[in-house]
Structure 1
Amino acid sequence: MLNVIKNKFKNVLLIFNKEIKNKIFLNTINLNLFNNIKINYNNKIFNLNKLSNIKIINRNIIHIIPYIPNIIKKIEYEIYKFNMYFNIINKKKYLLLIIKSITYDVKKKIIINLKNICNNFFIKLKILREKLIKKYKKTILNKDNLNLIIKNINFYFLKIKKKINKLFIFYKNNI
C-alpha cells in the first residue's frame, strides 16, 4: 500500500520533468521539435524528418541533410517560419542550425512559464494528496493504520514538493 502511494507521487515528478523539458528549453536541442515542421513537396505534405536526415552534432548544433537536394531552400524557409531561435547556415548540400543565445526578455518569459508549470504541479500534488487521504479514510477502519498512511502521504507530498522546488531552481539557473 505504501509503495502504491510512493509510486503515485513519483509519477507526478516524472511527468513534471517531461513537461519541463518539452515546454521550456529553447537553448537545448530536442529532435521532437522537427516532427511539427511540414514541407510541401510535389503537392504533398511531409514531415521534415521524412525528407531529411537530422543529426545532433553537439548541444547547440543540428545537421540536416535532405534526401532530395533541390528542397533545401524549402526546408530552410519552413524552419525559419517555425522557430526564430535558430541561425540557419545553408551549405548547399546540407543545413546547419545553430541555436541562438537567449535574450533577457525570452529568459524572463521562460522563467514565468516555468513558474506556471510548477504551480500547476503543486495543485496536482495537492489534489492527489486529498484523493488518497479520502480513499484510505473510507477503506481503512483501524485508526493507527490510517494515521500511518496519512503520515506517509504527507511525507511523500512534501518530499516531491521539495524536489519540484529544487528542480525549479536548477532549471531556472540553467536557462
Structure 2
Amino acid sequence: MKIYTYCHPEAIQYTGDVPILDDSGKVIAFSRRVYDNLLKKTFDEIFDFRYFLKYDVMSLNGEKLFTVKKISRRGKLWFEGMEVAIGKKYIISYENWRIGIPTLYITDKKIKIQLEKEAEDWSRFLLDGEEIARWKAEYREGEGEFHITLQINDISPIQQPYFFIAICQATLFVGA
C-alpha cells in the first residue's frame, strides 16, 4: 500500500501550492486550486467559492499532471477529470443526488469506480466491490488546517496519486 499526505488550509478558496508527500516525507507533487481568470474568481466569491471549482496537480517542475473541474449545466452537476499527459478524460458524477447522501462514480467508459463519501471517516474508492484506495481529511483546530491522507492499495489499476488527490480535493474537500 502506498501512502501520501498533505496539509490544506481550512479556507477552501486557498489558491497556493499544497505540497504532496510520499510515505518517506519527500515532496512528489503539488495541488492547487486554480481560476481561469479574475472574473471567475470574483464571481466565485459571491457563491461561497463553490461554483467555479478547478484543481490541478502538478509535478515538481510545474508540469500539469491531472486537472479536475466542476461542470454545472441546465440543472445538472458533474466533474470532468483529465490525465493531461495522455489526454485521458474521466467523468465524475453523482447518482441519487436528490435523495440523501449521493454516490459518486468515476468512469473513463472502460472502468467504473464508486466513491463512497464519508464526512468524518475514510472515503473509499471501490472497483468491483473491492477497495482500491481511500482518502481522509482530519481537521486540526489549533493549526487551522486539514491533515489529509491518501492510501492506494496495490490492487488498484490506478497507482498515480495525482488522480485520487485532484478528484478528492474537488469532490470531497469542496464538494457541490
Coarse TM-score class (shorter-chain normalised) = under 0.3
What's the TM-score once normalised by structure 2's chain length?
0.21
Who wins on radius of gyration, i.e. which is larger? Answer: 1
What's the TM-score once normalised by structure 1's chain length?
0.21
Higher helix share goes to which structure? 1
- Relative contact order: is structure 1 or structure 2 higher (C-alpha 8 Å, sep ≥ 6)? 1
